[in-house]
Each structure stands twice: as structure tokens, then as C-alpha cells.
Amino acid sequence: MPVNLGLDIGAISLKLAALGRSEDRAALAALCTHRPAFRMLDWNGLPLVLSDYRRIGGSPMQSTYDLLQEIYEFVPEGSVDGLRVTGSGARTISKILGIYFENEFKAIAHMMAAFYPDVRTLFEIGGESSKYIRMQDGGIVDYDRSGECAAGTGSFLDQQALRLGYPVEGVGELVCEAGCAARIAGRCSVFAKSDMIHAQQKGYQPSEILRGLCDAVARNFKSAIVKGRKLEARVAMIGAVSQNQGVRRAMEEAFGLGAGELFVPELYAWCGAVGTALLESEEKKKRSFGEIHRLKQHETERKSIDSQPLSMDNVVLLREGIPPYVPPPGDGPIPAYMGIDIGSVSTNVVVIDADARVIHDVYLRTAGRPVEAVQQGLAEVERLWGTRLVIEGVGTTGSGRELIAEFVGADVVNDEITAHKTGAWHVSNTLGSAPVDTIFEIGGQDSKFIAIENGVVVDFAMNEACAAGTGSFLEEQAEKLGIKIKGEFAKLALSAETPTRLGERCTVFMERDVTGYLHKGETVPALVAGLAYSIALNYLNRVVRGRRIGDNIYFQGGTAYNDAVASAFSMVLGKKVTVPPYNGVMGAVGMALIARDWHKATRGMSRFRGYDLRQLDVKTRDFVCKACTNTCDIKEFTIEGNKSFWGDKCSDKYRKAFSSGRKPVIEDLFAYREKVVEELTAKKAPAAKAPTKQPAKKKAAKKAAKK
């Protein structure tokens, strides 16, 4: 009974295909009769048995063992001629059993050539990855796949659907009922969550938000994987996500495909398994493979590599012991300087006096409404200090710095790198034991690395379109585990004796890993300690990326309030990590200092409009930016005739230079270079010659000669 088995072991699911000969039909039919999880098809007169689509649930070894055991009840292990595996979770299993590991692209292409030879373009969207394949004459002529980001994959859809309280299986039908679609970012699950919250606040129905998610998946696939390549019919879509009607419709619209031009094969989820079974049946050099009990033995003996327990021994908390501001005696005016940091997650307002002492700081959630958040912050400052403060300078930073500069009447506008450096440098020279030379800044959705020498930024880096390892991820996991992010998270993490090793990956994948460990009985303290380690590792590997790290490290941003993360950095690096005071509003502190320096240098009158800006002439307009696949919802603000924008994730297309009214010392060198190049090009270009007209007599003579 020479039966050949093919296993597709992915990150989410497990599928099996068994290809037998005519004489094997009875035994394989008995398997399908007694085990409803299996079904039999006919291929070229040969019996082909397929398993059901099984979710692994974090235990690929156990799941593979259980599936093979079901097969061996009816097909004895000694009667199996060959076993071959493919998929992202198959390599370890191939080594344990000593069998062939097959490349996923080759397995899929081999199956498509055998079953659907007319297919030329193939889309696959699976649980953790997506693929594009161009085929010709049964072979691959071009291909591409997704990277480490889960955007646009099945896991991405699973996570977002569950956030709205819907099982992913019902999303397709629900999407078909939606009359319109909310605009959702397709590049990162953290950004998608923010967009979903804002869409709910705007009154979008769940079906409309889910339709927006399906559109985001299609846009991401087109831009990040197909990358402008021309499609050639016939086009097939495979993978578990191909069963989602909403995604199929979105893919047709994104690629301009008509009705019936995109088809889903019957074996949409089993292409890899069938392909490996076919390849194994054609193999001349068979490999004898080990008994499958090795998988169970490996699962039992496998031990997780635990991290060291977290410790605060190498963490300095400068934020402790900072006394509250005591105003000068009497009721005289206090010269003050204001810094405002407007980010996608939080808005911070800080006011300092002439001696750079912090009078008051405000930390607010932006919640997609930057103007309202700033108004709330100004109202708090006015309520507590407005009668005494004389604002002599205002500075803004953050992603909404130009917008809020127009709104409040700022005197200086600067980038976040300069703002954070200025704040940290001042604190380290007034409260610290040594000047800061390295800044780790982790906010709600972004991260920054800054290297400093003698007060000057010499290197910096920011996270790209990925929010893995940021504060939003930690908050979400804390909520899922039923613990408070403030206080309780760090307390539990620091109490863990053996933190779970979660590594550093996309937030979607890490969330799935956390769920898997919970199902296996892992303790909450061990998991939260592992999450703290993962934040540190993610930042060091994805943001710092091998850059030089100094010896006086300042950890800033809202995430620095979590002592467990500060401890994780100190444990991984083996260096002292300092958490400065006002770590969550350090960008605003830096801008207040820059505003003070501006006033000292110019003695100019501040443009500050005052605390109550309700009477300000502000007009708004909403539109969609189509410069990239994020298709951001942009809000245009017209403040006293000046336009500013909010909402773009690129912070590029609608970023405009702030005019402070001062003349620059030198002109813009980039603009100057462009002007010189244009002038030189114009001089060297040959003058176009006007066509010379032939006299009428010569034309007539030529015509006569031709005749």
C-alpha cells in the first residue's frame, strides 16, 4: 500500500493530503467513513484524501502527531511510502522525523500545475503570510511574499474582527451588507485599532468598519506584495482568507478584475499539502522516516528558555522625590514658557518658569481630536495658574506641531528629536550624575533612539510603519490579561521568577503567542515579565539596530512609567538605565526650554493667542489622501486663513514649514541647489529649430518628378 503523505504545517493551521493508488481506495474510503474529518477525491483515477482544516492552537508537534495517528489507524505506518512537509512550522518536524522539507512556493506551484494548468497568477493570503506567484508552463517565473508584518493576513483579520466582537467566519457575509466602508489603515494592527476606534466615534456601523478592514487587506496586498506587477489571467486566490467574501470583493476592486476573473479553487486551503504529496510520490530517492512518537516525546521534553528575573538594581528613578512647584511669594506675575507636544496617542502641555522649573504639566489622550485636546490642556493651566502666569514664549512639537502652532500662536516649532534631546540634556545636567548620551523613547505608537555627544544629536532613528513594541501594545495585552497597566503590570512582572521568552515580533503574532501560553497554563506574572522583555528586545532590534549605545541611558516616553520595561532594558544591556522626571512629557519640557531660549535671544513679543480659543475662526474639511495605500482620512483646518492638516500617517505630504516671521541666516540650501540645477539645465539645452518651409515652386517640382 504505497501511500504518500503531504503535510502543510503553518503558523495557524495544519492540513494533510494522502495520495494512494487504485488498490488503496478501499482502505482510504474506510478512513473517510469512520473519520468525518477526512474526505476523498479522485485525481487522474487515483484516490486523494484530504484532512479538515485544523487550527494548531500553539502546539504544532502535538497537532501533527494527533493527525498522523488518525491516518495510521487505517493506513499502517509501515505502508506509508513517503512523508513530506511544507509550511512555516514544518522545518523542525522535518528534522525530528528525518523527512524532506519542501519549499512552500514549489509545493503550491506543483499542485496548481497539476490541477489548474491554466492559472497564470496566484494570490495566497494565509494566517501569517501572503504570497504572489506568476506561473508559466507549470513553473514559477516571478514571486513575492510578505515580511514580518501581519498586516493583510488572516491573523490581522482575526484580531480586528474579535475586537469588534465578531467571529472571523461571519465577517464576509456581514461585509456584503455594508453600504459604505470606513477608512482603516492596512499597514499595522495598532494603527488599524486607532482607526477603528475613530470610525466608531464617527458613527460607522460594525459592518462598515469590517468592510474597511477588507479594503485595507486588499490595498496592502497590492502595494506591499504585488508591487505594481501586471496580472495575467487566469487569476486564482487561495489560502483561508479566500473564503472571506468581503476580501474577495475588495481584491477584485483593488486589481480592477471583472466578475469571474478571480476564482477560488476547490482546494483553496490544501494546495501546499497536495503539492508535497505529489512531489513525494514522484521522489526516486525516498527517505526512511522515524516513528511519529518522536513528536510527542519532543513536545514533552521541550523546555522553554527562560529569561532572568527582572530586577531594579540597575534602574535609577529620578522621577521620585521631585517636589511640587512653589510659586514666588505674593501675587505678582510669573514669566512662563509653554511647550506643547501633540502626538497621535497623547497631547502634553508643560509650563516652566524663567529658571526652567516645571510649574505644571498636563498629559491627555489625543483621541483623534488634537484641537480639543489642546483646548482642554490650556483650560487646565488657566484654571490652576492663569491669573499669575505671563506666557512669554510657546513652542510646539509632535506630529501635529504645525497645526497647533497656528492654533495657539506658537513662537517656535521643532521636531520631536530636538525636543526630547533638549529636555533630557537639561534634566541630566541639573538632576543627574552625568550628562545623558543615549535616549530611548517609547510612546503609544512610535519609538525613537537618540545618540548625543556634548549636547549635540549625532545619530537618531525612529520606528517605521510598525508599532510592535510600543505602549499601545502593552496596554492592550494588560487589558486582555485583566490587569492594570499602571502599577499592577510592573509589580507582577518584577515578581516573576521565570519570565516567559516571547521574543520580538509583530504585535499580532505576539498576541497569539500570549494566548497560546495562557492555554498551556503559563502564569500571568511570567507572561507580563516576558512582555516587558519583548518590548526591550523589539526596540533594540528594530529601532536601534546595532547603533552605538552609550553608558548614560535615559528612558523616556509614556512607556517609561512601566518600571518592568526599564528593568528589562537594564537586564538585556547590562547597563544602568535612568528614568528622568516628567518622562511622559519630556518632549513638551524640551519645547518649553526652546521657547525660553527664543525669548532670551529675541526679546520678542509672543504670538500666544491666550487660553480661551473658542472664538477663533476655525474651519474644517475632511478628505481622503490617496498618495499611498494607507488612504488616510485627513482633516484640513483653516485657522485665521492659514491651512494646516491632521491625520496623515506619513507626516510628509501635508507637512509644511512653519513661519516664525524671522529671516533665516542663510537661504534654504536644497531649494538653492534645485534652482542652480534648473538654470544650468536650461543653458545647456539646445534651442529648438523651427521647421523650414519649402517654397511652393520647389514642392510642385518634387511632386512632378515623382510622377
User: What digits encode the pLDDT tens for the residues 123-150?
Assistant: 999 877 889 999 999 899 999 988 766 6
pLDDT above 60: residue 689: no
pLDDT per position as a tens digit, 393-452: 999 998 888 888 888 999 999 999 999 999 999 999 998 778 999 999 998 778 899 999
pLDDT above 90: residue 313: yes
pLDDT above 70: residue 526: yes
pLDDT of residue 522: 83
pLDDT of residue 106: 96
The larger pLDDT score, comparing residue 261 to residue 628, is at: 261
pLDDT per position as a tens digit, 61-75: 888 888 988 988 888
Least confident residue range of 11-15, 323-327, 547-551:
11-15
pLDDT of residue 457: 95
Per-residue b or e along 449-484, where b marks 16 or more CB atoms closer than 10 Å to that residue's CB:
bbbbeeeebeebbebeebbbbbbbbbbbbbeebebe
Per-residue b or e along 157-176, where b marks 16 or more CB atoms closer than 10 Å to that residue's CB:
bbbbbebeeeebeebbebbe
pLDDT of residue 702: 54
Give percent of the chain above pLDDT 70.
85
pLDDT above 60: residue 385: yes
How large is the average pLDDT for residues 662-676? Answer: 77
Between the two ends of the chain, the Cα-to-Cα distance in Å is: 87
Least confident residue range of 6-15, 175-184, 243-252, 581-590:
175-184
pLDDT of residue 300: 47
Which amino acid type is present at position 506? C
Sign (positive or negative) of CA dihedral 59, 63, 64, 69: positive
pLDDT of residue 155: 74
pLDDT of residue 346: 87
Confidence of residue 560 (pLDDT cuts 50, 70, 90): very high
Q: Is 398 left (phi over 0), alpha (psi -120 to 50) or beta?
A: left
pLDDT of residue 202: 74
pLDDT above 80: residue 665: no
CA 134, distance to chain mean position in Å, is 27
Beta strands in 464-600 (DSSP E): 553-556, 577-579
Contacts for 70 with CB less than 8 Å, ≥ 6 apart:
31, 35, 37, 38
pLDDT above 70: residue 88: yes
Least confident residue range of 364-378, 385-399, 632-646:
632-646
Number of alpha carbons in the 13 Å side-chain half-sphere of residue 641: 0
Contacts for 561 with CB less than 8 Å, ≥ 6 apart:
486, 583, 584
CATH number of the domain located at residue range(s) 434-579 in this protein = 3.30.420.40
Beta strands in 202-318 (DSSP E): 235-238, 262-263, 315-317
How large is the average pLDDT for residues 240-258? Answer: 90
pLDDT of residue 662: 56
User: What CATH architecture is 117-264?
Assistant: 2-Layer Sandwich (3.30)
pLDDT of residue 478: 86
pLDDT above 80: residue 693: no
Confidence of residue 629 (pLDDT cuts 50, 70, 90): low
How large is the average pLDDT for residues 639-655? Answer: 65
Say if residues 299 and 59 touch (Cβ distance below 8 Å): yes
How large is the average pLDDT for residues 377-399? Answer: 93
Say if residues 339 and 592 touch (Cβ distance below 8 Å): yes
Say if residues 451 and 457 touch (Cβ distance below 8 Å): yes
Confidence of residue 286 (pLDDT cuts 50, 70, 90): confident
User: pLDDT averaged over the chain?
Assistant: 84
Asked if the domains at 1-105+273-302 and 117-264 fall in one CATH topology, the answer is yes
Least confident residue range of 1-10, 34-43, 126-135, 475-484:
475-484
The larger pLDDT score, comparing residue 665 to residue 645, is at: 645
pLDDT above 90: residue 667: no
Domain ranges of the chain: 1-105+273-302, 117-264, 334-429+587-612, 434-579
How large is the average pLDDT for residues 491-506? Answer: 85
Name the fold adopted by 1-105+273-302: Nucleotidyltransferase; domain 5 (3.30.420)
pLDDT above 70: residue 204: yes
From 173, 161, 154, select the one nearest 249 (Cα to Cα).
Answer: 173
Confidence of residue 688 (pLDDT cuts 50, 70, 90): low
From 392, 426, 384, 424, select the one nearest 410 (Cα to Cα).
Answer: 392
pLDDT of residue 176: 81
pLDDT of residue 305: 41
The larger pLDDT score, comparing residue 511 to residue 483, is at: 483
Confidence of residue 304 (pLDDT cuts 50, 70, 90): very low
Confidence of residue 184 (pLDDT cuts 50, 70, 90): confident
pLDDT of residue 700: 54
Confidence of residue 57 (pLDDT cuts 50, 70, 90): low
Report field, pTM of the whole predicted structure over 0.75: no
Confidence of residue 695 (pLDDT cuts 50, 70, 90): low
CATH number of the domain located at residue range(s) 334-429+587-612 in this protein = 3.30.420.40
From 534, 535, 544, 339, select the one nearest 450 (Cα to Cα).
Answer: 544
